[in-house]
Amino acid sequence: MRRPENYLIFIVIILMTGGCAYMSHDVTIDPHYTASSAVTGQNRPVSLEVVDEREDQDIGRRTDMYGMGALITNEQDVADVFRSKISEALKAKGFEANSADTFPKLKVEVRAIKYTTSAGIMRGGFLARSAIKIIAKNGSETYEKMYRSSVEKKKFFLPFADSNRTQINDSINEVLEKFFQDESLFKFLAAEPTVEQSS
């Protein structure tokens, strides 16, 4: 037989997590994925441009069982956050990021950082998604690719702010991992620029 205090604890947890849904949350984007070292670039300079192309600057909402809740926002310059991490990755791969108008060029578009929820019978679904697109140019050749990631969790109660932040950053780490492990891209950047042949 369940003791009355067990039900009390259960009710308190529901009230606490339910109340969290109406408290706004500013998420700090702090990806910690580190690219593996390589000698691909041989200290070759790469013209790096990073832009924030998200349609909506808000990340999502902290929703309750009725689908309502406060916004999850971010006050950072997202492009700067990604630029710093990508510059580190390029250095680890043997490249030097700069802003010169020379080949090779690497443009990174941050397309999505989103957090959505879905209601279930017993548990809710909490999904963090990230997407970036890269456009690399080396002479007359172009290399384009989209990287996507999603991290989903099923929980009985509404996640607290720290859990939301961790899940969102895990999604960003995953998309950066796919980017940094694309050896075809780094070989493309390391190659000599191609020149169009005149007819």
pLDDT at 175: 97
In a domain, 195, yes or no: no
pLDDT at 118: 73
pLDDT at 1 over 70: no
Contact (CB, 8 A) for 28 and 165 = yes
Q: Mean of the pLDDT values across residues 139-166?
A: 86
Closest-CA residue to 16 (of 153, 118, 157):
157
In a domain, 198, yes or no: no
pLDDT at 149: 98
Contact (CB, 8 A) for 119 and 154 = no
In a domain, 93, yes or no: yes
Q: What average pLDDT does the chain have?
A: 83
Taking the C-alpha atoms of 166, 89, 131 and 74 in order, what is their torsion angle to the nearest 10 degrees? 50
pLDDT at 13: 43
pLDDT at 94: 94
Q: Could you read off the pLDDT of 44-86 as tens digits, one per residue? A: 999 999 999 999 999 988 665 555 677 899 999 999 999 999 9
In a domain, 178, yes or no: yes
Q: Mean of the pLDDT values across residues 93-111?
A: 96
In a domain, 147, yes or no: yes
pLDDT at 67: 56
Query: Which domain CATH number covers 144?
Result: 3.30.160.150
What does each C-alpha distance from 179 to 5, 46, 79, 103, 193 come to in angstroms?
A: 50, 16, 16, 20, 21
Q: How confident is the model at residue 119 (pLDDT cuts 50, 70, 90)?
A: low
At 158, the amino acid letter reads L
In a domain, 199, yes or no: no
Contact (CB, 8 A) for 8 and 154 = no
pLDDT at 36: 83
Q: How confident is the model at residue 33 (pLDDT cuts 50, 70, 90)?
A: confident
pLDDT at 107: 98
Cβ neighbours, 10 Å, residue 144: 11
What percentage of the chain reaches a pLDDT higher than 70?
76
> Which residues span the domain enclosing 18?
4-190
Name residue, tokens 């050896």. Answer: 183
More confidently predicted of 108 and 155: 108
Q: How confident is the model at residue 158 (pLDDT cuts 50, 70, 90)?
A: low
More confidently predicted of 176 and 36: 176
In a domain, 197, yes or no: no
In a domain, 13, yes or no: yes
pLDDT at 95: 96
Number of separate domains in the chain: 1
